[in-house]
Amino acid sequence: MSNVVVSQQASVRTFFCCAREEKFLLLGGDILALLLAFFLGRTGYWLWSGSSLAEMTSAYAGWWGFQGELRFSLYLGLVFIAVFWFWNLGHYSQRKPFWDEIQQTLKVLSVVAVMDAALVFFGKWEFSRAWLVTTWALALLFIPFFRVQIKRALIRAGGWVRPTVILGIGQNAKDAAKALWSEPLLGFDVIAFLAVPSQSEQDRQPLPEHVELEDRCVPVLPLGDQPEAVLETLGNPHVVVALNFRGWYENQALLQRLSMRQTDMNIVPAIGGLPLFGMEITHFFRHEVLLLRVRNNLSRTGAQIVKRSFDIIASGILLLLLAPLIAFITWRIRREDGGPAFLSQERVGRNGKIFKCHKFRSMVQNADEILAQWLRERPEIREEFSRNFKLKNDPRVTAVGKWIRKTSLDELPQLWNVFVGEMSFVGPRPLLERELPTYGPSIEMYKEARPGITGVWQISGRSETSFADRVYLDAWYVKNWCLWYDIVVLLKTVQVVLARKGAY
């Protein structure tokens, strides 16, 4: 244990001596990204038009002498506004999940880009509008890219990662550890769970030596009556409080004592099961009470209009653009065995309404009869199929079916389901009627949304996840829906499909 503590102390010392440098490295990276976006925005256009290096240099020199100094000076002012805004949002001092940080970055750059456009327009400058657009588009790409590379470089150099302890050993603490590990660039390395003294006789049981989570084994240590001494022994790590409900009430004095000592402490309240995205916090003067406002986003009329409008426009465009590919796949399937190219299955949609979900046929024509026979005669297949209603090495899949499944092209016909309002681009996985009882209480939540071509399940392992995981992920999506998460899921889906991970 002593060797572990020594290594933890060394890590903490590295963090504190480099924290200021890390902050200014990130800030400098943003400034560099914005400056590169300004100059490369115009250079890209010249390269596309076939201009030579000499012509580009001449063009820059000519522009610089004609309002260039004023234009660049004003742009530097916008750069200052952007990085100052990022500073106030905590992008250089706090650690935020990647997609939350991207969302805030998009908002900041959108506002600053509008300010830039207003300056160009009202100043009536001879300035390329295309340059303006490409500048801020590149900035949106460069800033996250530079931040990720800087953080990765710091981690390789022994910085950025901050040893972290979690106060609590219950389910809430375990969920907190999993969440922190899911975002490696946050830099929170959970080194121990700290067990608080219990005031209940029935809970005073021997502490486990460690907690096993996924592929990690994390030690459990008693916090005792001298929490400061325990934290000092561990090298004064970052503290995340993740107690269960009873722990909050039993240890109020301890929590107040820790909050007075810790200048930066995170809290993970035990409110699992509630919609978390968009939760609003209200403080009361003179009272130690937080009023949390939660809302069901998918039940709001405005949100439904936005989501449905996006589905109609995007599916209509894709149906037109992908028509040649759809025709080619149809021809390939018919050519292989002469059967129909499309398969329509009854699925449960929004509000429990049954609809025909369309897919390209990827199996032999008598697939259902073959499956029924296997389930009767082969216990190992019956056991695998019961987990998530899929078979990893399914011999019923045709040659062309393997290809369209690996690339998820078998789901292209569902664009029509989206267009007519039976499905959405992002949503829960479409259910068969026989799967409804296995959903349990979460089925009511499932019925609130249109099933999706893709969803959180699709980007979380796809067919490698269990059916229980699907139920949890579908419920999480419905509770925490927002348009930004839909965009994130679509971007991650592209990555998963290209990697062909978990598809069979």
Q: What is the pLDDT along the chain (504 residues), one digit of tens a residue?
A: 434 443 444 344 444 446 788 899 999 999 999 999 988 887 765 666 666 666 666 666 666 656 667 778 888 999 999 999 999 999 998 889 999 999 999 999 999 999 998 887 776 666 667 778 889 999 999 999 999 999 999 998 888 899 999 999 888 999 999 999 989 999 999 999 998 876 444 455 677 888 888 778 899 998 877 888 888 889 889 999 998 877 777 788 888 888 888 778 888 888 877 777 777 788 787 777 878 777 777 778 888 898 999 999 999 999 999 999 999 999 999 988 888 889 898 999 998 899 999 999 888 777 667 777 666 666 766 666 666 566 666 667 788 888 888 888 899 999 999 999 999 999 998 888 888 888 888 788 888 889 999 998 888 866 566 777 888 888 888 888 888 889 999 998 888 877 766 555
Beta-bridge partner residues of 355: 347
Helix (H) or strand (E) holding 436: helix 436-439
Residues 6+ apart with CB under 8 A from 426: 452, 453, 454, 455, 477, 485, 486, 489, 490
DSSP letter (8 states) at residue 183: -
Pick the CATH number of 162-270 from 3.40.50.720, 3.40.250.10, 3.30.565.10, 3.40.30.10: 3.40.50.720
End-to-end CA distance of the chain: 45
Spatial distance between the Cα atoms of 173 and 245, rounded to a whole number of angstroms: 11
Amino acid identity for residue 487 in this structure: I
| C-alpha pair distances (Å), 371 with each of 374, 375, 391, 396 | 5, 6, 10, 8
Contact between residue 22 and residue 159 where contact means Cβ atoms under 8 Å apart: yes
Helix (H) or strand (E) holding 241: strand 238-241
What is the residue extent of each domain of the chain? 2-156, 162-270, 301-362+397-499, 365-391
Quick one: pLDDT at residue 329? 94
Spatial distance between the Cα atoms of 302 and 42, rounded to a whole number of angstroms: 39
| Cα within 13 Å of Cα(393), Cβ side | 1
Q: Which of 243, 63, 84 is nearest to 165 (CA)?
A: 243
- Cβ-in-10-Å burial (0-12, 13-18, 19+) of 450 comes to buried
Spatial distance between the Cα atoms of 423 and 417, rounded to a whole number of angstroms: 5
Helix (H) or strand (E) holding 267: strand 265-267
Quick one: pLDDT at residue 55? 63
Quick one: pLDDT at residue 360? 92
